[in-house]
C-alpha cells in the first residue's frame, strides 16, 4: 500500500476516535484563538491536554492559554529562529512514537507563523501529521469581507520597505490583469504600515478599487472598513491613532474589466509585456488563459492598439 494511504487511514482513525480515547502518535497542528478564547475548539483542547509536548512559538504566550484551560502539558519553544534545529530534535521524539502538538501565538500554525519546517520533515519521515483546524485571520477576514471568497490568493505580509511594497503590488496587479478570472487578494498588515499600504494600493489599482480592511477580528473592537480604497484610507487616517491587528482584502476585479470581471485583452497583454514577455509570447499566454484562438486574440490586440 502506498505511504499516502497509510497516513490517510491513521488520520481517519484519529479524527473519529472517542473524545476520551488515547491520542494516536504523530504531529498535531493545533489552531488557537486569534482574540476570542471561545474559538478554541474542543478537539484542540483534547489534543493539547493529551499530547506529550506542546511546541510553542512563544512558551509564555501559550502558557496563558494553557492556564486558562487548566492544561499542564510540558511546553518547548519552537520559533522561526530555532525552527531547523528544534525540528530535528522533535522529529527524533516523533520517530519514537511521541504525540507532539504545535501551536503559534495565535491562529493556525504555519500560516505566516512557524510550523512549516516541522511538517515538512515529519511528513518526509512518514510521521502522521494531523491538522486540528480552528481560528485563522485569513479566512475570517475573507469570508466576512463581502468580496468573492470562491477564488482568492493569500499573500502574507507586504514588504515593509516602500519601494519594495510598491513593486510587490505592481506585480500583483500584473498577475491579476493576466488572470482568466478575478481572484480576491488577501494580505496581512500592521497598524504602523497600513496607511502607506492603502496609499500604494490606491496608486496602483486606482482610488475606486474595492477593498475590505478587517481589524481586531473576534475581539471586542472588531471592525470592517469596506469600500473604495481611497475612502478607507481617508477614514483610517482621520483617526487619532491606528491600532490593532488587521487583514487587507482587495477585490479581484480590476478597473476597465470586461463583463466577466477580467481586464481587457489589450490591458492583459500590456501587463505581461511589462513583466518582460515579448509581444508574441504575451499574446499567446493571454489567448491560452482565455481559451480563445490565437488569430482572434491577435485581431483583438490590433483593435486595442488602434484605439490608443
Ligand atoms: N497564523 C496566524 C493566523 O492563522 O491567522 C497569523 C499570524 S501572523 C504572524 C499575524 C498577523 O495575522 C497580524 O499581523 C494580522 O495581520 C493577522 N491577524 C492575526 N490576528 C488577527 C485579528 N484578530 N484580527 C485581524 N488580523 C489578525
In this predicted structure, what is the pLDDT of residue 272?
Answer: 67
Say whether both 61 and 37 belong to one domain: yes
Ligand 1 centroid–CA 219 distance in Å is 12
Residue 107 near ligand 1, beta carbon < 6 Å: yes
Ligand 1 centroid–CA 224 distance in Å is 15
3-state SS class at 307? helix
Please say which residue of 104, 135, 166 terminates a domain. Answer: 135
Say whether both 153 and 249 belong to one domain: yes
Q: Which of 41, 68, 69 is nearest to 132 (CA)?
A: 41
The strands making up 129-132's β-sheet, listed across from edge to edge, are 75-77, 53-56, 99-103, 26-30, 129-132
CATH number assigned to the domain comprising residue 60:
3.40.1010.10
- State the DSSP string of 256-286: TB-TTSPBPHHHHHHHHHHTT--HHHHHHHH
Residue 136 near ligand 1, beta carbon < 6 Å: yes
The percent of residues above 90 in pLDDT, for the chain, comes to 73
Most confident of 18-22, 188-192, 256-260, 267-271: 188-192
Q: What is the mean pLDDT of residues 36-61?
A: 97
Instruction: Tell me which DSSP letter residue 186 carries.
Output: E
Say whether both 58 and 107 belong to one domain: yes
Backbone conformation region of residue 81, classed left if phi is above 0, alpha if psi is from -120 to 50, else beta: alpha
Kindly indicate the confidence band of residue 263, based on its pLDDT and cuts at 50, 70 and 90.
low
Nearest CA to ligand 1 atom 16: 188
Using the predicted structure, report yes or no on whether residue 33 has a pLDDT greater than 90. Answer: yes
Please say which residue of 114, 135, 156 terminates a domain. Answer: 135
In this predicted structure, what is the pLDDT of residue 81?
Answer: 86
The reply to whether 140 falls in a domain is no
CATH number assigned to the domain comprising residue 175:
3.30.950.10
Cell of 87: 525540528
Q: What is the mean pLDDT of residues 96-110?
A: 98
The reply to whether 179 falls in a domain is yes
Say whether both 252 and 269 belong to one domain: no
Please give the tally of structural domains in the chain.
Answer: 3
Nearest CA to ligand 1 atom 25: 246
Q: What is the mean pLDDT of residues 213-222?
A: 98
Say whether both 82 and 108 belong to one domain: yes
Using the predicted structure, report yes or no on whether residue 5 has a pLDDT greater than 60. Answer: no
The reply to whether 99 falls in a domain is yes
The reply to whether 142 falls in a domain is no
Best residue for ligand 1 mutational test, from 80, 247, 249 (most atoms within 8 Å of Cβ): 247
Least confident of 114-118, 211-215, 296-300: 296-300
Q: What is the mean pLDDT of residues 123-134?
A: 98
In this predicted structure, what is the pLDDT of residue 88?
Answer: 92
Say whether both 119 and 182 belong to one domain: no
Please say which residue of 216, 234, 256 terminates a domain. Answer: 256
Say whether both 24 and 99 belong to one domain: yes
The reply to whether 114 falls in a domain is yes
- State the DSSP string of 41-106: -HHHHHHHHH-SEEEESSHHHHHHHHHHTT----EEE--TTTHHHHHHHHHHHHHTT-EEEEE-SS
Residue 189 near ligand 1, beta carbon < 6 Å: yes
Say whether both 192 and 281 belong to one domain: no
Return mean pLDDT, the chain.
90
Using the predicted structure, report yes or no on whether residue 3 has a pLDDT greater than 50. Answer: no
Q: List the beta bridge partners of residue 227.
A: 211
Distance of alpha carbon 201 from alpha carbon 204, whole angstroms: 5
In this predicted structure, what is the pLDDT of residue 257?
Answer: 58
Say whether both 178 and 117 belong to one domain: no
Ligand 1 centroid–CA 88 distance in Å is 27
Say whether both 13 and 118 belong to one domain: yes
The reply to whether 172 falls in a domain is yes
pLDDT in tens, 225-262: 999 999 999 999 999 999 999 999 999 999 875 555 55
Nearest CA to ligand 1 atom 23: 217
Nearest CA to ligand 1 atom 19: 137
The reply to whether 203 falls in a domain is no
Using the predicted structure, report yes or no on whether residue 35 has a pLDDT greater than 90. Answer: yes
Best residue for ligand 1 mutational test, from 29, 30, 34 (most atoms within 8 Å of Cβ): 34
Say whether both 158 and 250 belong to one domain: yes
Using the predicted structure, report yes or no on whether residue 89 has a pLDDT greater than 70. Answer: yes
Q: What is the mean pLDDT of residues 66-87?
A: 93
The reply to whether 54 falls in a domain is yes
- Cβ atoms of 91 and 123 closer than 8 Å: no
Best residue for ligand 1 mutational test, from 30, 137, 221, 249 (most atoms within 8 Å of Cβ): 137
Ligand 1 centroid–CA 279 distance in Å is 41
Say whether both 87 and 152 belong to one domain: no
Q: Which residue's C-alpha cell is 469596506?
A: 226
Q: How much is the CA Rg of the chain, to the nearest whole Å?
A: 23
Q: Which atom of ligand 1 is nearest to the CA of 35?
A: 23
List the domain range (segments joined by +) for residue 217: 147-198+208-256
Using the predicted structure, report yes or no on whether residue 50 has a pLDDT greater than 50. Answer: yes
Distance of alpha carbon 35 from alpha carbon 57, whole angstroms: 16
Residue 247 near ligand 1, beta carbon < 6 Å: yes
Q: Which of 71, 48, 55 is nearest to 105 (CA)?
A: 55
In this predicted structure, what is the pLDDT of residue 160?
Answer: 94
Q: Which atom of ligand 1 is nearest to the CA of 104?
A: 1
Amino acid at each position: 500500500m502506498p505511504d499516502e494511504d497509510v497516513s490517510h487511514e491513521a488520520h481517519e482513525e484519529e479524527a473519529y476516535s472517542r473524545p476520551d480515547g488515547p491520542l494516536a502518535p504523530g504531529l498535531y497542528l493545533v489552531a488557537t484563538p486569534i482574540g476570542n478564547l471561545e474559538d478554541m475548539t474542543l478537539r484542540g483542547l483534547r489534543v493539547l491536554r493529551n499530547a506529550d509536548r506542546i511546541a510553542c512559538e512563544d512558551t509564555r504566550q501559550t502558557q496563558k492559554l494553557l492556564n486558562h484551560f487548566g492544561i499542564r502539558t510540558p511546553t518547548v519553544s519552537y520559533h522561526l529562529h530555532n525552527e531547523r534545529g528544534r525540528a530535528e530534535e522533535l522529529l527524533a521524539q516523533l520517530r519514537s512514537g511521541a504525540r507532539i502538538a504545535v501551536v503559534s501565538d495565535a491562529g493556525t500554525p504555519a500560516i505566516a507563523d512557524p510550523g512549516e519546517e516541522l511538517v515538512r520533515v515529519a511528513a518526509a519521515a512518514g510521521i502522521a501529521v494531523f491538522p486540528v483546524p480552528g481560528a485563522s485571520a485569513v479566512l475570517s477576514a475573507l469570508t466576512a469581507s463581502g468580496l468573492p471568497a470562491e477564488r482568492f490568493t493569500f499573500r502574507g505580509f507586504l514588504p515593509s520597505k516602500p519601494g519594495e511594497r510598491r513593486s510587490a503590488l505592481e506585480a500583483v496587479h500584473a498577475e491579476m490583469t493576466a488572470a482568466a478570472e478575478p481572484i480576491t487578494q488577501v494580505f496581512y498588515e500592521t497598524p504602523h504600515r497600513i496607511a502607506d499600504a492603502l496609499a500604494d494600493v490606491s496608486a496602483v489599482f486606482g482610488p475606486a478599487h474595492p477593498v475590505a480592511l478587517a481589524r481586531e477580528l473576534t475581539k471586542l473592537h472588531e471592525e470592517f472598513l469596506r469600500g473604495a480604497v481611497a475612502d478607507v484610507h481617508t477614514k483610517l487616517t482621520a483617526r487619532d491613532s491606528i491600532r490593532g491587528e488587521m487583514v487587507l482584502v482587495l477585490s479581484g476585479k480590476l478597473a476597465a474589466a470586461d463583463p466577466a470581471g477580467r481586464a481587457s485583452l489589450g490591458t492583459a497583454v500590456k501587463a505581461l509585456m511589462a513583466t518582460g514577455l515579448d509581444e508574441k509570447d504575451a499574446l499567446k499566454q493571454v489567448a491560452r488563459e482565455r481559451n480563445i484562438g490565437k488569430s482572434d486574440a491577435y485581431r483583438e490586440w490590433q483593435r486595442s492598439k488602434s484605439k490608443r
